[in-house]
Chain A
Amino acid sequence: MSLDYRRYLDETALPLMWCPGCGDGTILKALLEAFASLGLERERVVVVTGIGCWGKADDYIRTNAIHGTHGRALAVATGVKAYRPDLTVVALMGDGDCATIGGNHFIHAARRNIGITAVVSNNLNYGMTGGQFSGTTPAGSKTSTSPYGHAEDGFDLCRLADAAGANFVARTTAYHYRQMVRLIKEALLEPGFAMVEVASPCPTYYGRLNRQGSAREMWRSLKDRARSVGEEGGEARTGVAPGQRPDEEPRSKPADVIVTGVLVRRTRPDFAARYSDVCRRAMKEGGGEAQLDAR
C-alpha cells in the first residue's frame, strides 16, 4: 500500500472528528488513495461537501474544497463542473445530504449525467444531529425520531441512481477497503455521473439504538452481509436479496444482504460533451441574437 495518499491528507487537521468505530475515516483514506493512484493534481481537484459527519471530510483534504450548505453539494459541484469540465469534481455526501434534503439534486445530477463523482457514506441515519432517521433508514429501525420503529421504507441509493440514468453506480462497504479504492478510482475515471455508495457503520447512534452490538460487531456484520456481484457490471436490483422475487417488497431489515460491486455501467454521453454540441450549434446559428420577437 502506497503512502502517497498523505499528499492529499491535511495531517495538521488530525485527529479525525469522527466517533470511534465510524466508517468515515476509512472512506476518507480510500478516497485519498484513489486520488493518489490516479496521480491527480491537487490543484485540479474540487471536493464539494454538504453538512453532516461525512460532510466534514473536506477539512482533512488538501485539494480545493467547498464546504457548502446542507443537501446542496451536488448543486454546487454542478456549477463547478458545468463551467470547468476539465476539473475533477467530487461530491462527498452522507445519506442525509444525498438522499434526503438533497435528493432532488441527486436524481437530476444522475439524469443530467454530469461528470461528478459522488462518494456517499450511508450510515442509515443523521449522525451529526444525534441519530434521527434519514431517507435511507430501513422500516422498523429505531432512531431518535422513530423511537417506536420507523414507519417508512428507506431508499436504495443505487437503484435510485440507476433509474435516474447515472453512467456508473457501485456499492461497497467501509469494511471492504480494497474494493472501495478500486470502485472510487473507477468512478473518478468515468466522464459521466458516477456514484459509489459506501455502507458505513454508525455505532454511536444507529447501531446502539438498533442493538447491533459494538463497533467491532457492526464492522463484522458489514463483512458478513456483503455479496459482490463481480466487477463486470451486474444486476441493479440491489435491494433485492438472493432468492427474493423482484416484485416483492424490498426487504430493508438491518440483517439484509449488501450487494456490492459495480451495479451499473453505461456509456451515455456526459453533460459536458452534450453542452459542447450546444455551443457549436449556437456558434453556427449565429447566436447572440435573442429571438425575442418569435416568442
Chain B
Amino acid sequence: MSRISERQILMQGNEACAKGAIDAGVRFFAGYPITPSSEIAEILAHDLPSVGGKFIQMEDEIGSMAAVIGASLTGVKAMTATSGPGFSLKQENIGYAAMAEVPCLIVLVQRAGPSTGLPTSPAQGDAMQARWGTHGDHPVIVMAPASVRETYDLTLACVNWSEILRVPAILLMDEVVAHMRENVTLPDPRELDIHDRPGPTLPPGHPDFRPYLPGPDDVPPMAPFGQGYRYHVTGLHHDERGYPVHDGAVAGELGRRLLRKLERREADIARVEWVWGPGRGDRGPRPPDGWPSGRDATVVVSFGSTARSAEAACDLARSQGREAILLRLVTLWPFPDAAIVEAARKVAPGGEILVVEMNFGQVVREVARAAAGQARVRHFGYVSGQLIPPDEIAREIGGRGRTG
C-alpha cells in the first residue's frame, strides 16, 4: 500500500519532515550525515529519485549548503538537514542565501551542545544560532514544531515562506520531536496550500529585465537559471542588476529591504498557540477572554518538545489551583512580539512569564525584550540529556522559584 495514499501512519518527526518536504514540492536535497537528522537524508535519498527529484550527499556540511544554493538557483525547491555541529558549519552560506535571496530550507535537529556535546540527546541550545548564526544583519525564518504532525505542517510552511519571500527558512526541531513516533493523519497533498517563488514578469531577453528589481512586496521575482534568463548572483552588496556596488546608498537600501520584506509579513509568519486546558478546544491563537481571573497568574512560554512538558505542567498546576496558561511559540523568528506583549498585559502586575526551554536561557532574552519591563520574566531550563519533566516545571509555576 502506498504511503502517499495511505495518509494515516505511525511515523517519526524526521519522516514527517521528509514527507512534508516532498509534498511542499522540494525536489533537491544535499546533505551530510549527522545524528539526529540522518533519517531525513535517508528517506529523501530513497524517495526523491522516483518523484523526479535529486539527492546528493556532499563531502561536508559546508558543501551541502552551497549545493542547495546552486540547485535552488536553477529553480528547484531545495533543502538540507543537519544538527548543531553541521549547522555551525553551514552559517556562511546561509548568509549567502539571505543576501542573494536564494530560497532554501535548512532543517536543524537540535542536540545538546556546545561542540559535539551530547550526541544525541535533546536540547534547545541552537535557538539563538538559528536566528543569528551567520554574520551580518540578515532575514531568516525559524519555526519550531512540537509534534510529528506539526513537523509536517511547519516543513510546508517553511518551504512556502522561503519561496514567497526568497529567504532561508530554518525548521528548528529537536531530538525528541525528530525521533518520537506518533500516529498522524496527513492531509491530502492535493488540498495543500503550496506556494512557489514569484516568477519573473518579463520574458527572457527583455531589455528591462532586472533580476533584483523588487516587486511591491519588496521581493524580487526570481528567474531560474537555464530557462532563457541570464544574470549575475553575488553575496556582495549588489544593485538591481545583481552586480556588486560600493555605493553606500544602494548597499544600505538593500540591507533594509532584505529585512523589510519579512517585516511586512511578520503578522502572518509569527504564529503562536495558547493552551489553557487539556481538551481539543482549549487552545487557539489567542488566550480566552477573562483569563486570568486572579492577580497571580503564570504564562508559561515554551516551544518544541519542551512545550509538551510545559503543557502537562500547566494542567498539573491548574489541578492544584494555580492559574497557568501555556503560550507555545510556533514561530521563533520573526519573533511573536505581539503575543508576548499580550502575555505581559495578562499577568501584570502580580504574575509572571515563565520561559521554559532546554537550554540555560536563550529565548527568554527575546521574551524579556518584547515584554519590555511590563511583566516579570523568568527562565527555567537546563540541559541534562533528558526532557524537562512536567512536575519540575509545575513546581516553578507560582512555586518555589518565585521570589517576592
- Chain A residues within 8 Å of B, Cβ to Cβ: 13, 42-44, 46, 48, 58-59, 62-69, 71-72, 75-84, 86-87, 104-105, 107-108, 275, 278-279, 281-283, 286-292, 295
**Complex CA–CA separation, A71 to B89 (angstroms):** 13
B369 contacts partner chain A, Cβ-Cβ < 8 Å? no
B181: nearest residue on chain A (CB-CB)? A292
B72: nearest residue on chain A (CB-CB)? A79
Given the contacts A67-B232, A288-B51, A82 and B71 also touching, CB distance less than 8 Å:
yes
Beta-carbon contact of A43 and B204 below 8 Å: yes
Contact partner of B67 (CB less than 8 A), chosen from A82, A278, A279, A286, is: A82
Task: Show 23 residue pairs from A and B whose CB-CB distance is below 8 angstroms, ordered by the A residue.
Answer: A13-B243, A46-B225, A58-B234, A64-B225, A64-B229, A65-B233, A66-B100, A66-B234, A67-B232, A72-B93, A76-B70, A79-B56, A79-B73, A80-B70, A82-B56, A83-B74, A84-B226, A105-B63, A282-B49, A282-B50, A288-B2, A290-B47, A292-B39
Beta-carbon contact of A87 and B225 below 8 Å: yes
**Complex CA–CA separation, A278 to B45 (angstroms):** 10
Name the residue in A42, A80, A278 with the highest tally of chain B Cβ atoms < 10 Å from its Cβ: A80
Contact partner of A105 (CB less than 8 A), chosen from B4, B39, B59, is: B59
B92 contacts partner chain A, Cβ-Cβ < 8 Å? yes
Beta-carbon contact of B2 and A72 below 8 Å: no
Beta-carbon contact of A43 and B226 below 8 Å: yes
Beta-carbon contact of B18 and A290 below 8 Å: yes
**Complex CA–CA separation, A32 to B255 (angstroms):** 34
Q: Could you say which residues of chain B place their CB within 8 Å of the CB of A290?
A: 3, 15, 18, 42-43, 46-47
Beta-carbon contact of B50 and A83 below 8 Å: no
Q: Could you say which residues of chain B place their CB within 8 Å of the CB of A295?
A: 39, 42
Given the contacts A108-B63, A288-B50, A290-B42, A80 and B73 also touching, CB distance less than 8 Å:
yes
**Complex CA–CA separation, A289 to B56 (angstroms):** 19
Beta-carbon contact of B233 and A279 below 8 Å: no
Beta-carbon contact of B63 and A289 below 8 Å: no
**B29 to nearest A CB, angstroms?**
10
Given the contacts A43-B228, A64-B230, A288-B2, A78 and B67 also touching, CB distance less than 8 Å:
yes
**Complex CA–CA separation, A87 to B73 (angstroms):** 13
Beta-carbon contact of B50 and A286 below 8 Å: yes
Q: Could you say which residues of chain A place their CB within 8 Å of the CB of B68?
A: 79
**Complex CA–CA separation, A63 to B47 (angstroms):** 34
**A96 to nearest B CB, angstroms?**
15
A56: nearest residue on chain B (CB-CB)? B244
**Complex CA–CA separation, A81 to B225 (angstroms):** 11
A277: nearest residue on chain B (CB-CB)? B49
